[in-house]
Amino acid sequence: MNRGRILLFATLRDYTGSRSLEMEIPAGTTVAVLTEMLIKAHPRLEKVRTSMMTAINREYARDEQVIPENAEIAFFPPVSGG
Amino acid sequence: MNRGRILLFATLRDYTGSRSLEMEIPAGTTVAVLTEMLIKAHPRLEKVRTSMMTAINREYARDEQVIPENAEIAFFPPVSGG
Amino acid sequence: MDSPTYLALTQDAISPDDLIARITTPGTGAVVLFTGIVRGITTHGETRQTSHLDYEAYSPMAEEKMKQICVEIRERWSAVEGIAIAQRIGQLDAGTITTVIACSAGHRDSGVFEAARYGIDRLKEIVPIWKKETGPDGASWVEGHYHPAAGE
Amino acid sequence: MDSPTYLALTQDAISPDDLIARITTPGTGAVVLFTGIVRGITTHGETRQTSHLDYEAYSPMAEEKMKQICVEIRERWSAVEGIAIAQRIGQLDAGTITTVIACSAGHRDSGVFEAARYGIDRLKEIVPIWKKETGPDGASWVEGHYHPAAGE
């Protein structure tokens, strides 16, 4: 078990009301599972389920990727800079 | 007959030693004929004969074009700005 | 060959003059610069007005991705010498420069046009920055569309 | 649609910042700017050094031809809003901006990249400007190659 810090941006920040969250992340948790945990904790995220993206240690992550210990985790919508 | 003023630029200025020349230009003179007159007056221009260009009233001119009266005439090498 | 790289994620005004100077080397004969500007009036589709945009960034990752874009550009256009990428964040009014991508090279036929185009396309795909648009009808987040592959 | 046009044949320093501001309209979301710079070191072919270039222009015709390039750009890329073309003349040291072509539009996919590229290509073909290069071995005129058709 590992207390993880999750960063949230743009619409995800608005829907959760937070810039960052702390969550208990069991060892072996994948990105897909963590996404479900996050949506369960913040049901308003349901509507961006298919568009939200995850970065682990500042790199775009795969759904099946296992979250390493002490990772920097971020969830956000598709980018719109420029 | 018409006393014409001819502007010269870049290498043509160097070869003639002048920024502008005055020449007697008979009525009906074409660009090709004027070019020959100019080379005859300034034989160093022989070596740029094939590359030199003519503008009449600030527009690229054809060899067979007749020089109108009171025209602004310019001779110069291919451009190299930018 | 000098290969200056200048990256900025900044709250301050972006100066193309300054960025061009930063990527001008003794071998530079050509710079192509793209700049994005806050449109006050958008006429693609339905016409709408924008008073300002608010940009936010996931800064450390954005800086990493800007570096990555430079690597990608240099892999594709080996004649590119200098690269500058700047993105301004915070509240930006209509008419304000939001981003600049500039590439320098010896000559204009070296890929600098394509490299700058590639740079702005990639910035809009992979750099984690978002903007919220405020107009007469209120504010809303601008939706991106691209989903980078893992590790992209 | 606003269509500002700004042309300059000048002895003074050219500021891309200034030119971008001049062609930014309420509808502008993208500007592509090309700038030519005096190369101190040229490595195309044999390596050579340049200390400065001296530019001269047939000014009234050059201004006409710069206008013509704007017309040609607008005929080809109707989405282009603003166009700025500037050429500096006089003695310009290595590292100095010699020319700028900038085009503005609502969006980057509107032809602004192609329009700016076309602009600099045409400037080097039809605008009567010449440069003499001075380096360690003395000075010589740079040879152009393009022969415009009559009336081009």
pLDDT tens for each residue of chain A, 82 residues long: 678 899 999 999 999 999 999 999 999 999 999 999 999 999 999 999 999 999 999 999 999 999 999 999 999 999 999 9
pLDDT band at C44 (very low <50, low <70, confident <90, very high): confident
pLDDT band at C6 (very low <50, low <70, confident <90, very high): very high
Instruction: Pick the closest to residue C20 from C103, C77, C87 (CA basis).
Output: C103
Touching, B vs D (3+ Cβ pairs under 8 A) = yes
Task: Give the C-alpha separation, A63 to B72, whole Å.
Answer: 74
Integer angstrom CA distances of residue D73 from A21, D6, D128: 53, 14, 19
B45 alpha-carbon distance from chain centroid:
11
> Do residue D150 and residue B81 have CB atoms under 8 angstroms apart?
no
The pLDDT of residue C1 is above 90: no
Which tokens go with D97?
């901006």
Task: Give the C-alpha separation, C97 to C100, whole Å.
Answer: 8
pLDDT band at B4 (very low <50, low <70, confident <90, very high): confident
> Do residue C24 and residue D113 have CB atoms under 8 angstroms apart?
no
Instruction: Pick the closest to residue C11 from C85, C91, C65, C84 (CA basis).
Output: C91
Give C149's contacts in chain A (Cβ within 8 Å): 60
Is the Cβ of D142 closer than 8 Å to some Cβ of chain B? yes
- In angstroms, the first-to-last Cα distance of chain D is 28
Give A12's contacts in chain C (Cβ within 8 Å): none
Percent of chain C with pLDDT over 70: 100
How many CB atoms within 10 Å of residue A16? 18
Give D105→chain B minimum CA distance, Å: 23
Which tokens go with B61?
């001119």
Cite the beta strand spans of A30-80 per DSSP E.
53-56, 59-60, 73-76
Which residue is listed with tokens 């070596």? Answer: B47
Could you read off the pLDDT of D121-143 as tens digits, one per residue?
999 999 999 999 999 999 999 98
Burial of C1 (0-12, 13-18, 19+ CB in 10 A): middle
Is the separation of the CB atoms in B16 and B37 below 8 Å?
A: no
Instruction: Pick the closest to residue C103 from C45, C22, C39, C26 (CA basis).
Output: C22
Give A63→chain C minimum CA distance, Å: 9
Is the Cβ of C33 closer than 8 Å to some Cβ of chain D? yes
Q: Does ipTM exceed 0.90? A: yes
Please calculate the CA angle A11-C9-C149 and round it to the nearest 5 degrees.
55
Helix axes D59-76, D112-126, angle to 10 degrees: 150
pLDDT band at D46 (very low <50, low <70, confident <90, very high): confident
Please calculate the CA angle D16-D49-C111 and round it to the nearest 5 degrees.
50
Is the separation of the CB atoms in A51 and A77 below 8 Å?
A: yes
Give D64→chain C minimum CA distance, Å: 24
Which tokens go with B52?
């030199």
Is the Cβ of D67 closer than 8 Å to some Cβ of chain B? no
> Do residue B60 and residue D149 have CB atoms under 8 angstroms apart?
yes
Task: Give the C-alpha separation, D24 to D32, whole Å.
Answer: 11
Is the separation of the CB atoms in C23 and C84 below 8 Å?
A: yes
Instruction: Pick the closest to residue D51 from D139, D118, D125 (CA basis).
Output: D139
Integer angstrom CA distances of residue D116 from C102, D105, D132: 14, 11, 25
